[in-house]
A and B are shown apart, each in its own frame.
Chain A
Amino acid sequence: MKKRAGTVTARPATVSPSRAIAAALKYAVLLAAVFVILFPPYVVILNAFKGNEEYAKSGVFDFPSSFLNLDNFSTVFHRGDMLNAFMNTGTILGLSVLGNVLMGTMVAFALGRFNFKLKSWILGAYVAATLIPSVTTQVATFGIIKELGLFNSLYGPVLLYIGTDVVQIYLYLQFIRYIPYDLDENAMIEGASLFRIYRSIIFPLLAPATATAVILKSISIYNDMYIPYLYMPSQKLRVVSTGLMNFVGVNSAQWNVVCAALLIILIPTTILYLVMQRFIFSGIVNGSVK
C-alpha cells in the first residue's frame, strides 16, 4: 500500500476499481468545466477567419476554409482604429503602473520602516479607504475630474488608477516585513542615506511584489471599461475596451468581423497570462491572505 507524505485529501485505502471510478469521475467533471470555459472562445476563433460570404453560408460550428484568412483582422485594424486604441491603452498602462510601483514602494518604505505619531492614523485611513468602493462614488469623482480639467484627457484615468489602488499598498506593506532590517542597519553603519537604502536595498528586494503588481495591474487596466467610458468619450482617446464597444456598435451585423476584433483584444492578455501564470497565481493567493 503506497503512503505518500504530504497527501492532502483523505482517500480510503481500498482496491483499485473504486479508486479508478473516483478518478474517472473527477476527470469527467473537470473536462465538463473546461468545455464550458472554452466553448465561447472556440466559437469565436472558428468564425473569425471566415470571409463575409463564407460566413453567411456556413453554420456556426463549421471550420473556416482557411485559418490564414486574415481579412477580417485587417478590417478591424483599419475601420476600428485599433492601433490608436492600443497606443492609448499602452500609454495609460505604462504611466499608471509606473506610478503605482513608485508610490507603493515609497509608502511601504515610509510606513514599514519608521514609527511616527501619525502612522496609525495613516494606516487607518488606508483601511477606511478600502470600505469605499469607487463604483459608488463615481458620480462625485466625475465632478472632481471635470473641475481639475482632466476630462477627456489620458491623465484623468492615470490619476484615478494610481490614486485609488489601495490594495497594492497593502501588498507592499505585507511584503516589506520580510526584508530584514539588518540590511538597513548595515547600510546605515556604512553611512548610506535613507534614500539610498530605499533605492538600492528595499526597492530591489520588493521586486517579486512589484512583478505581481505590474502584471495584475496591467491586466486590470487593460480590461477596464468603466473609467475610460466615463472619462474619455472622445474618439481620439479610445482605449481597447471603448474602441471595441464603438467598433461592435457600428459593425454589429457582421459577426465574423466582430469575432476577429474579439480575438485581437483577447490575444495579448492571454499570452501574457500563459507566460506569467506562476506570478499571477502566487500574487492572488498572497493577496487574499490579507
Chain B
Amino acid sequence: MLIGGIDNVFSSSLSRSKEGLPMFAMSYKVQRYVILISFLTLPLLLLAVFSFYPALYLAWLSFTSWDGYSPEKAWVGISNYKEIFTNADIFKVLSHNFVYFIGGIVQNIVALFFAVLLNSRLRGRNAFRVLLFLPYIMNSVAIAYMFTYVYDAQNGSLNALLTSIGLESWIRSWLGDAAIVNYSLAFISAWKFMGFNMVIYLGALQSIPGDLYEAAKIDGAGPFKSFLYITWPSIIKIVELSMLLTVSGALEVFDLPFVMTKGGPAGSSQTFVTQTVETAFNFSNYGLASAMGMVLLFIVVLVIFVQRKLILRGGD
C-alpha cells in the first residue's frame, strides 16, 4: 500500500529547496539512485561478508584439514564427513542436546499455562509478568555461576533447601552425576526462557477477541472446549514459532555446559556446539569443526523446512 509512494511523484522533478547542499539541486530521479546506493551498499556488504560468505567459506573449509594457523589448507575431500558419521562419539552428543529439547517442550507447556493464567482477570498480573520474565534479561554467564552456586554439592543452596524441608533423599550431585547433569543444565535453560515464551504466548492470547469466548459460553462450552476450539487455532502459528526456537535452541546450546561443566563430567554434558568449538580451538582441527558446523547447519535448515511443511498442511 505504501510501498513505492515516492516513485509516483517522480514526474515532477522539483529541485527547489531551502538548504544549499548539492544534493538538493539534483532531480528526484538522481537522488533516488544516490539514496538507494548509499543506504544499501554497506548493509548488503555486511550481510554478504558476515552471513553468506561464512556459510560458503565453512563449506569449503569442511573439505580441508586446516589447523587455524598455517597458511596452507590441504584438501582432504570428504574425510571429515566420514569421521563425523563413523565416529560414534560425535553423534552421541546429540543425545545430550535432546535433553535440552525435552526441557524446551516442558518450558513451552508451562509458559502457555502461565500465559493463560495471566490472561485472565487477576490482581497483580503485571507484577507476575515482570517477575517471571526477569531471568531472560540476565547475563548468561552470571546465570551459569549463580546456578553453579545453587547446585553445589557441598554447600549448595538447593541441597540445603531440600534438607530443610525434609527431602534429604532428593539430594544429588547435580553437576557431578553424569546421569542427571544434562537435566540440571536443561532446567536452567527452561528457567531462563520460560518467561520469554510466556510473554509471546500472552501477546498472542491477548489478540483473540473476547466475543468469541462470550459466544462459546452462551453455547455452553466449558473452559476446555473453548481452549481447544478458540484459543488453540488462534495461537498455533506462535506455537510453531516457539517450537522452531526451541528446537534450534536445543541444537545450538553452548553457554551453559561450556561455562559450568566444560562438557564434563567426562564429556557427559558435551553438546554439539561445545564439541565443535573444542575441536576447532583445543584440537586445532578447523576442517573437522567446519564439517561439524555444516552438519549442524544442515540439520537446522532441515528442521525449518519440515516445520514449514507441517504448517502448510494445516495440522497440529
Interface residues, chain A, CB within 8 Å of chain B?
Answer: 4-12, 23, 26-27, 29-30, 33-34, 36-41, 43-44, 59-61, 103, 106-107, 109-116, 122, 125-126, 128-129, 131-144, 159-160, 162-164, 166, 169, 176-177, 179-181, 184-185, 188-189, 191-198, 219, 222-226, 230, 240-242, 244-245, 248, 255, 258-259, 262, 265-266, 269-270, 272-274, 277, 280-281, 284-285, 288-289
Contact = CB atoms under 8 A, between A and B. Distances in A.
Contacts of A138: 54, 277, 293
Given A139-B286, A288-B241, 4 more contacts: A37-B195, A176-B2, A248-B145, A284-B203
B92 to A, nearest CB: 19
Contacts of A110: 35-36, 39-40
B191 interface: yes
A199 B241 CA distance: 35
Contact of B40 (A10, A33, A122, A225): A122
Contacts of B202: 285
Given A110-B36, A184-B6, A266-B142, A163 B49 contact: yes
Interface in B34-78: 34-36, 39-40, 42-44, 46-47, 49-55, 57-58, 61, 68
Report whether over half of chain B's contact residues are helix, strand or loop; otherwise say mixed: helix
A122 B44 contact: yes
B4 interface: yes
Question: Which 10 A-B pairs have CB atoms at the shortest separation, nearest pair first?
Answer: A181-B5, A285-B203, A163-B46, A163-B50, A140-B58, A137-B54, A140-B57, A106-B39, A115-B4, A140-B54
Q: How large is the interface on B (under 10, 10 to 19, 20 to 34, 35 or more residues)?
A: 35 or more
A9 B24 CA distance: 57
Contact of B51 (A6, A33, A164, A223): A164
B87 interface: no
B191 A37 contact: yes
A241 B139 contact: yes
B137 A270 contact: yes
13 contacts: A36-B191, A61-B164, A107-B39, A109-B35, A131-B304, A136-B252, A136-B293, A139-B61, A139-B286, A139-B293, A194-B28, A223-B138, A230-B277
A284 B50 contact: no
A141 B147 CA distance: 31
Interface stretch (B93-101, B169-177, B178-186, B215-223): B215-223
Contact of B259 (A192, A245, A255): A245
B199 interface: yes
A129 B57 contact: no
A288 B203 contact: yes
Interface string B194-223: 011001101111101010011011000111
B51 A185 contact: no
Given A163-B49, A219-B137, A7 B213 contact: yes
B289 A139 contact: yes
A285 to B, nearest CB: 3
B40 A277 contact: no
Contacts of B109: none
Contacts of A41: 146
A103 B43 contact: yes
B36 A139 contact: no
Contact of B47 (A4, A12, A163): A163
B200 to A, nearest CB: 5
A107 B117 CA distance: 40
Contacts of A191: 14-18, 24
A9 B17 CA distance: 57
A18 B25 CA distance: 75
B39 A135 contact: no
Given A6-B210, A37-B134, A188-B6, A194 B142 contact: no
B142 A9 contact: no
Interface in B1-37: 1-7, 9, 14-19, 21, 23-24, 26, 28, 31-32, 34-36
Contacts of B254: 135, 226
A129 B51 contact: yes
A135 B276 CA distance: 10
A225 B140 contact: yes
B276 A225 contact: no
B66 to A, nearest CB: 8
A132 B55 contact: yes
A137 B142 contact: no
Given A139-B290, A188-B14, A284-B203, A255 B149 contact: yes
Nearest to A30: B128
B153 interface: no
Given A143-B57, A163-B49, A193-B19, A33 B7 contact: no
A281 B199 contact: yes
